[in-house]
Amino acid sequence: MYRQLSRALFAPILATILISSCGLMDQLMKGKEIAENAVVEFHNRLNAQQCNEIYEQADNRFKQKHGKNDAINACKTIHKQFGQVKSSSLLGYNINSTPTETLATLKYTTEFSQVSVSEEFVFIIEGNQARVVEYSLIQ
């Protein structure tokens, strides 16, 4: 009887796991897409020298770590020294979702008009929006 009960429960439990896994994968892929769009927006704002807007739309963790003037000056320096963003290629990504937040980490090789660099972005995904938590450059 125990064996029959186990078999009877196995299929519904397996189906539930598979269905919930598909939903999670969809959510993670949506988070990746939202973060990739945020990188495009970040680069467009960097090209337009909209450094204040980049800062104002960043997550509070970014703002706590980087003072407004320092972040805006760093943004302006990147634009001045590296030039316009010409293209970027995704090298890798990681989506970390917990019950309280979803963080997306994306690594890019980006070609500016004067140099190519590696960039790393960390975004918090909330709904259909992504906000910068951390940004770093490696020449």
**Concatenated DSSP letters for 34-103?**
HHHHHHHHHHHHHHTT-HHHHHHTS-HHHHHHS-HHHHHHHHHHHHHHH-SEEEEEEEEEEEEE-SS-EE
Rg (CA), the chain: 20
Domain ranges of the chain: 2-138
pLDDT on residue 94: 96
pLDDT on residue 31: 87
Question: CB–CB of 96/103 below 8 Å?
Answer: yes
pLDDT on residue 15: 52
pLDDT on residue 22: 44
pLDDT in tens, 104-128: 999 999 999 999 999 999 999 999 9
Q: Give the percent of the chain with pLDDT over 70.
A: 78
The CATH class of 2-138 is alpha beta
CA dihedral sign of residues 122, 126, 129, 131: negative
pTM over 0.85, yes/no: no
